Amino acid sequence: MERSRNLQGVLILLALIAIGGLYVWQNVKPEITVSVPVPTNTPGEASPQAWQLELRAQLESAATLLPTIDPADTTATVPALPPTDPAAELLVAPAGLEYTPWPTPTATPALTPTSPAPTASGPTPFPSPTGLPVAWNATPIGYQPPPEEAPLRLHINDHYWMKRPVDASANSESLFYYPFGSDGPRNEWRVHHGVDMPNPVGERVRAVASGTVIWANNGAESIDGNQQGIYPAYGNVVIIEHDIGYRGQKLWTLYAHLSVILVQEGEHVEQGDTIGLIGGTGDVSGPHVHLEVRLGENNYYSVVNPLLWIVPYVGHGVVAGRVTYPDGTLAEDVTVTLTQRGRVVQTTTTYIAPKRSPDQRFGWEVNPDPVWRENFAMGDVPEGEYTISVTLNGRRFAQDISVRAGTTNFVELGGSVAATPRPAGD
């Protein structure tokens, strides 16, 4: 009996050992074997198929940059008007596009301005065209549309034959608060005989048309008052006598306040040639170029509005006109306002002391255009619909106009009293 009991104990012990061993065997982690794939050897690279060669050729072609023109390349040519024979003194007007004209001002004989005799009430011997409150540290110039190509003539009375004196990347628009024929916003400056384009010192100044340089010096050199029309207030000055003229009259342009003069007297220049660099020489408070257009005579009193001679921006036109009182007298130094959908787009003032007729030769300052006979002009007005207005003796005169690009848009305001004029506060 005792033996049987011992045998059972042994069997139970063996069973426990077997169960424990089985548990241990099931919980032991198996060894992890990692196999790294080995690249297989391939035969030599096969020749690309036809479609692969075609795709590669197209990709290489698309990655090739197109040739460009270096704007600084000295070999680049600028469109210029054909020079004339100086010996023949033949004035050639550039050909323009013929266009059916709309109603224009009453034609009057072209005037040939002459120097007025000195009078006690006349201008001072050395007139200063500027004195602008322009900061010396020029601010960056924003985007400006490029100008049209010169010459441009979409209307029979137009003569946009000159390019701008500075590049489109610079500031090529004139100061609105000191326009041609104005004495400034507070009536404290001399009557302006040109347009001013503020720019940093060193910006290139270009010839607006081809011609011969007849003056390239400092204005102070002509203190004797010779007929060049140069004055100490202009600083460094270049004057060009152009190869083109208008109705038998010669044309000159003057560029003042240059920091450096890059041409010599007697040198012939083409349209777009660099003649100097913008500066602040002479009587100025900031760097800019002062541009004058002189017609008939190279004289300070023979100036006409440059806005009617230099090409406007692409998509822009020029608004010019005449403001008169009911008796027909020209209204001087009155504000003309251009609005669009109730918002002011541009303002200017009518000319002060414009020359009227040959028998009123004393005391004038600027000259109207020989054809348009305007006494105000606004440059670079975007094409579109506008309202132009002026207030005379408390009465407001307004007119709706459509501005066409690339041409002069003429308007007459005032004149005979309207039946129901609008009050000034309307």
Work out whether strand 268-269 and strand 211-218 pair parallel, antiparallel, or are unpaired.
Answer: antiparallel
Residue 234 backbone phi and psi in degrees, to 5? -80, -15
- How far is it, in rounded angstroms, from Cα 76 to Cα 154? 27
385 within some domain: yes
Burial of 184 (0-12, 13-18, 19+ CB in 10 A): middle
What is the model's pTM?
A: 0.65
What pLDDT is attached to residue 283?
Answer: 83
Sheet containing 408-414: order of strands: 376-382, 316-324, 408-414
pLDDT of residue 187: 74
pLDDT at residue number 284: 81
pLDDT on residue 96: 38
Handedness of CA 173, 174, 180, 185 (dihedral sign): positive
In whole angstroms, give the CA distance from residue 322 to residue 356. 13
Domain assignment of residue 328, yes or no: yes
Q: Nearest-CA neighbor of 365 among 304, 293, 320, 291?
A: 304
Q: How many CA atoms does the CB half-sphere of 292 hold within 13 Å?
A: 31
- Confirm whether 370 is domain-assigned: yes
pLDDT score recorded for residue 92: 40
Tokens 């305007």 sit at which residue?
374
Query: For every one of its 426 residues, what pLDDT tens digit does the chain have, with 9 covering 90 and above?
Result: 556 667 777 788 888 888 877 776 766 655 555 555 555 555 555 677 777 777 677 666 554 444 444 545 544 444 444 554 544 444 444 433 333 344 444 443 333 333 333 333 333 334 444 444 333 333 444 445 666 677 888 888 999 999 989 887 777 666 666 788 888 777 777 888 999 888 889 899 999 999 999 999 988 776 555 556 677 789 999 999 999 999 889 999 999 999 999 999 999 999 999 999 999 898 887 888 999 999 999 988 899 999 999 999 889 999 999 999 988 889 999 999 999 999 999 999 999 887 765 555 545 789 999 999 999 999 999 999 999 999 998 899 999 999 999 999 999 998 754 433 444 443
**Structure tokens given for 375:** 């006494």
pLDDT at 135: 34
Q: How far apart are CA 351 and CA 320, in angstroms?
A: 12
Give me 101's structure tokens.
Answer: 């004209």
Q: Is 181 a domain residue? A: no
Residue 415 lies in a domain: yes
Residue 333 in domain: yes
For residue 382, give the CATH number of its domain: 2.60.40.10
Domain that holds residue 357: 316-423
pLDDT, residue 28, reads 61
Q: Would 178 be classed as within a structural domain? A: no
Decide if 215 is inside a domain: no
* 3-class state of residue 13 by DSSP: helix
Q: What pLDDT does residue 160 have?
A: 94
Between CA 413 and CA 397 the distance in angstroms is: 6
pLDDT for the residue 179: 87
Element (H, E) at 20: helix 2-27
User: Regarding beta strands 204-206 and 303-304, do their DSSP bridges make them parallel or antiparallel, or are they unpaired?
Assistant: unpaired
Counting the structural domains of the chain, the total is 1
